[in-house]
């Protein structure tokens, strides 16, 4: 399904184009004028720039000449190799660039109907969960009849120059594109989920097993239409764009254009199997300067590969910025990689795995009232951490791989005011009571099961296998008191019922006036049940726990592990009648009728001990109740303050 698109600055492409065609004039964009203010906001441009339309730069302009290709692009004078690398990745996937360049055939120059040309184009970008349509005119910055920024290697092809202008307009000026992240640009082109990998810190250069796992992961991502980019970190600002002895540029973005297992030697009828070498194909956005190590374009290593295999790889011996290298050398020579997952959520897809997505737009906001504040900082800020936004989700399988992506609002738009730097962000995941419906206020009884990295990146990603249960994810800025929009996405195999926790405690309703409002809150944790085997319960018996508090009932999943059973079960109850005990019953699941194995009654007073206790099972609710074999290990925490848990 085509996503809904919002017009940027309320400029609607068709309306503007029709007005220009009827008026017989070419479009001039008042929102991004052909002037110095669209080029730079810090200093005057160093050259005398002329804004030229494509028809003034060549005789027969086109969006695409012989189709779109990752070979089309050259960086120009702007320091945006990261953007050009992202365009190279985009050009590899038709379904993706057609979203960014919508209805391109209708935007293409029509030599049969030149009067229909209005000098107006539009491009679409994914901005914090929404697709935005950006309209531009076709006046491009040039010097002596040549484009000074991103351009094609064919003089009359203009798709990349026009795309760059639309992207510059989105972020305020061309200067806003001077320095950035390839992964961020790819996310803006596709809505991809970004997974950042530090190849140096995670020792991929020396760990062969980790190398193999990473290669298989990247190969799968590439086959599924994902995009991959990388760079070699510069130790200092002065080292940027310095070239290593092996030909790689420090502080420079590269795009991965192919990943292959390359067969070495000729395949024969007698010996069908050949050795496979893990290899990646890279592209330098400069369109020149290549890898000079093993397996470079002119290396004799290629004599080990058959002519047919070379043909499949499209090997060329020319300085076009594209080169092959072994995956081992890739891990040794690059410091960081970004995997851009284009995650399939379509119910109609049968080729790739379909994920269930939960998504929310949120905001970190300040407020003097602790119950209304939503900018409490990271976990280090113990007193304010739980004031952050909170989101709950469920894992309904015994285990499920969960992908979590937190993306903050892009700050580049604020560079004109001297700001524009990403905030340090991250998130924490807690396993909570299986019936929790209200916000967490204290760490009491909550299990912290996962923590993301905290970095000043636009996107933070975590992949984690979680067990069945209910979880709360808390996205945060590192420092408290920061205001910023964000989008939080979670992908699971089965629908997770992902939603925000908005209420701090039960609401006051007309039913409360009839039945009474809760006077206290109790958390009950069941760790294990032991010693129930004297009632004919054998190994493999299916045991479960049943909790009842007033009219609320919580039941654990059935545990088949026999007489001594771990449960790790928690429930929270908001109690109207503090004097009524909470019943914890142990049952054996049977085909016809479940068997009662005993119970304990918990007074759950705020003054009771909060340590874990082993409580004997009984068979009745009254004082004459008889002991039954077995006991339950339970921890109870109660408070008269509904905001204590």
Active site residues: 81, 252, 284
The CA-based angle 459-75-194, given to 5 degrees, is 15
* Angstrom distance (rounded) from CA 154 to CA 315: 21
Q: Are strands 5-7 and 130-137 parallel, antiparallel or unpaired?
A: parallel
578-610 burial, b at 16+ Cβ within 10 Å, e below that, comes to beebbebbbbbeeeeeeeebbbbbbebeeeeee
* Angstrom distance (rounded) from CA 598 to CA 320: 77
* Angstrom distance (rounded) from CA 550 to CA 521: 12
The sheet carrying 322-326 orders its strands as 193-198, 336-341, 227-232, 252-264, 275-283, 322-326
* Angstrom distance (rounded) from CA 573 to CA 571: 7
DSSP code of 479?
S
Q: Which H, E and C letters describe 168-211, residue by residue?
A: HHHCCCHHHHCCCCHHHHHHHHHCCEEEEEECCCCCCCCCHHHH
* Angstrom distance (rounded) from CA 140 to CA 162: 8
* Angstrom distance (rounded) from CA 379 to CA 404: 18
* Angstrom distance (rounded) from CA 558 to CA 599: 17
């Amino acid at each position: 399904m085509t996503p809904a698109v919002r017009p940027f600055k309320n400029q609607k492409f068709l309306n503007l184009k029709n007005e220009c065609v009827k008026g017989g004039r070419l479009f001039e964009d008042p929102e991004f004028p052909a002037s110095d203010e669209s080029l730079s906001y810090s200093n005057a441009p160093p050259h005398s720039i002329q804004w030229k339309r494509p028809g003034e730069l060549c005789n027969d302009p086109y969006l695409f000449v012989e189709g779109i290709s990752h070979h089309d692009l050259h960086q120009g004078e702007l320091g945006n190799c990261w953007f050009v690398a992202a365009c190279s990745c985009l050009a590899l996937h038709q379904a993706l660039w057609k979203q960014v360049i919508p209805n391109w055939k209708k935007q293409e120059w029509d030599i049969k109907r030149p009067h229909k040309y209005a000098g107006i184009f539009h491009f679409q970008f994914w901005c914090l969960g929404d697709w935005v349509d950006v309209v531009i005119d076709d006046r491009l910055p040039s010097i002596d009849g040549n484009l000074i920024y991103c351009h094609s290697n064919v003089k009359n092809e203009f798709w990349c120059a026009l795309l760059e202008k639309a992207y510059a307009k989105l972020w305020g000026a061309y200067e806003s594109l001077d320095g950035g992240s390839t992964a961020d640009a790819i996310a803006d082109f596709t809505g991809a989920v970004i997974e950042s990998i530090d190849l140096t810190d995670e020792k991929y250069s020396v760990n062969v097993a980790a190398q193999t796992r990473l290669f298989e992961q990247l190969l799968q991502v590439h086959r599924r239409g994902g995009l991959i980019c990388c760079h070699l970190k510069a130790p200092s600002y002065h080292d940027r764009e310095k070239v290593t002895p092996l030909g790689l540029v420090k502080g420079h973005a590269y795009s991965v254009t192919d990943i292959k297992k390359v067969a070495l030697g000729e395949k024969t009828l007698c010996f069908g199997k050949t050795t496979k070498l893990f290899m990646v194909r890279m592209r330098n956005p400069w369109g020149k300067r290549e890898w000079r190590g093993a397996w470079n374009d002119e290396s004799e290593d290629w004599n080990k590969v058959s002519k047919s295999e070379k043909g499949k790889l499209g090997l060329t011996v020319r300085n076009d910025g594209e080169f092959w290298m072994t995956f081992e050398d890739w891990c040794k020579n690059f410091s960081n990689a970004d995997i851009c997952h284009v995650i399939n959520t379509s119910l109609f897809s049968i080729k790739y795995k379909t994920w269930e997505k939960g998504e929310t737009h949120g905001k970190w906001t300040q407020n003097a009232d602790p119950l209304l504040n939503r900018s409490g900082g990271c976990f280090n800020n113990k007193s304010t951490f739980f004031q952050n936004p909170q989101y709950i989700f469920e894992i309904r399988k015994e285990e499920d791989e969960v992908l979590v992506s937190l993306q903050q609002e892009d700050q580049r738009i604020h560079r004109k005011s001297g700001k524009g730097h990403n905030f340090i962000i991250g998130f924490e995941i807690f396993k909570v009571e299986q019936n929790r419906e209200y916000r967490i206020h204290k760490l009491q009884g909550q299990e912290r099961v996962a923590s993301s990295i905290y970095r000043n990146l636009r996107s933070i990603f975590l992949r984690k296998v979680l067990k069945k249960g209910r979880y709360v994810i808390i996205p945060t800025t590192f420092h408290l008191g920061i205001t910023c929009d964000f989008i939080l996405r979670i992908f699971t195999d089965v629908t997770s019922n992902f939603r925000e926790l908005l209420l701090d405690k039960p609401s006051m309703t007309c039913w409360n006036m009839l039945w009474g409002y809760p006077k206290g809150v109790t958390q009950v944790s069941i760790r294990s049940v032991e010693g129930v085997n004297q009632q004919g319960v054998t190994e493999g018996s299916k045991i479960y726990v049943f909790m009842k508090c007033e009219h609320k009932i919580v039941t654990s999943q059935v545990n088949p592990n026999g007489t001594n059973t771990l449960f790790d079960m928690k429930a929270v109850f908001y109690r109207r009648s503090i004097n009524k005990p909470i019943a914890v019953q142990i049952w054996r699941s049977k085909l016809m009728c479940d068997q009662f194995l005993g119970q304990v009654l918990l007074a759950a007073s705020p003054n009771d001990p909060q340590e874990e206790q082993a409580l004997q099972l009984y068979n009745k609710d009254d004082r004459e109740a008889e002991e039954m074999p077995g006991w339950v290990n339970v921890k109870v925490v109660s408070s008269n303050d509904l905001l204590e848990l």
